Amino acid sequence: MINFSRFRLDNGLTVLVHEDHTTAMAAVNILYKVGARDESPEQTGFAHLFEHLMFGGSVNIPNYDAPLQSVGGENNAFTSNDITNYYITLPSNNLETAFWLESDRMLSLAFSDQSLEVQRQVVCEEFKQRYLNQPYGDVWLKLRPLAYKVHPYRWATIGKELKHIEDAKMEDVKAFFHKYYTPQNAIMVVAGDVNLEEVKVLADKWFGSIPAGNSFVRDIPQEPKQAEARKEWVEADVPVDALYIAFHGPDRLSADYYATDLITDLLSRGASSRLYRALVKENQLFSEINAYMMGSIDTNLIVVEGKPLPHISLEEAEKYIWKELENIKTHAVEEVELQKVKNKIQSTMLFAELSILDKAMNLAFFEMLNKAEDYNHETSKYEAVTSSDITRLANQIFTEENSNTLYYQSKQKENVE
């Protein structure tokens, strides 16, 4: 249970405050409601590029890191398809430094040609290193557009192609900033050795005068129900074959999200999970196997991925995976097995509450989803899932017509054979 207070500035900035006086530290987390799904298909990768630009300095503070480091603080950020999140941790007696830094770049980001060019090169290099030149790095550049035909989840956070970042113009960057990086499109969580009244004073002092920005209506095309199986073969210079099967599933706010999450845990969380036990440990068909859900706000993907051992072809590997999926569809999960994965989720969530930064991030995310109070009821929603829920959803999700299969074939294996 995370206790917190909420207030909102006149410009629309939502502020949550969680007091924890067992620590001498504070965390300031700012979530902007913008991710790769908000991009134009012709200009992808902008949300991630902007994450980098936000560290390029503001009008008044050319070096963002220096003043923070001088007061013992650390910072970082991440971008997903749904959000962009920035965070600072620092000694609580230097809390105002975080407000100063974050408010200044929200109001006065320095749009210099040099900063754009430097960060463009950084992002382009990341694109090459992580997605183009790394084994299996381009999987999501292929699997996303295979599974999504309409929704902007069809491109990865890094973008659809390198050229979109290479061609980014200053006017495009400024337009993106002024639309999405506004108080009314942000949620700030302050957690740790702080008090509500102090945060109210600081929030008003540093953020209160920032213009709210223009309101806009988010119009994201939703993915239609998939009606037939999709398959794609890829040959690449990778050590071994790999197989990826993606299924569409419930969105993050669906009541069925929790049962679906538990299905992936039943399949592959830990050495006693179904896929690991059957395909890796007992029958020695795969070197590794995993199942997970993306956790996206809109229609999710449930992914089963694995690397079959050299004597198993990709077609055979696919059949073995489907056999295990059919098993969870046709045989009710016993209560002991189900409770085991529920306990693991509960322990994970309890562990997250030990960190003020994790608490700040979780409160911000759930406030963005609907309201932060929902986070305190997450474990009860998982606990309420029944064996019949698992069977029902497994039968809905694991169908041939709902599958998107990427066969990632090793050229090295082909040469050996």
Which residues are the active-site residues?
A: 51
Q: Which two tokens stand for residue 213?
A: 């920005």
Q: Which residue's structure tokens are 């909420």? A: 6
What span, in angstroms and rounded, lies between the C-alpha atoms of 105 and 210?
11
What span, in angstroms and rounded, lies between the C-alpha atoms of 166 and 117?
9
- Phi first, then psi: give them for residue 150, nearest 5 degrees: -125, -45
Q: Which of 159, 143, 132 is nearest to 408 (CA)?
A: 143
Residue ranges with strand state E in 269-368: 286-293, 300-308
Dihedral sign, Cα of residue 276, residue 299, residue 123, residue 360: negative
Q: Which residue's structure tokens are 């790769």? A: 36
If you ran DSSP here, which 8-state letter would residue 132 be given?
Answer: I
What is the b/e burial string over 283-296, where b = at least 16 CB atoms within 10 angstroms of the residue's CB?
eebbeebbbbbbeb
For residues 390 and 259, the answer to whether their CB atoms sit within 8 Å is yes
Instruction: Give me the sheet containing 14-19, strands edge to edge.
Output: 5-8, 14-19, 186-192, 25-32, 84-91, 74-79
Angle at CA 144, nearest 5°, toward 410 and 43?
120
Length of the chain: 417
Secondary element (H or E) of residue 101: helix 95-108
What span, in angstroms and rounded, lies between the C-alpha atoms of 332 and 386?
10
What span, in angstroms and rounded, lies between the C-alpha atoms of 368 and 376?
15
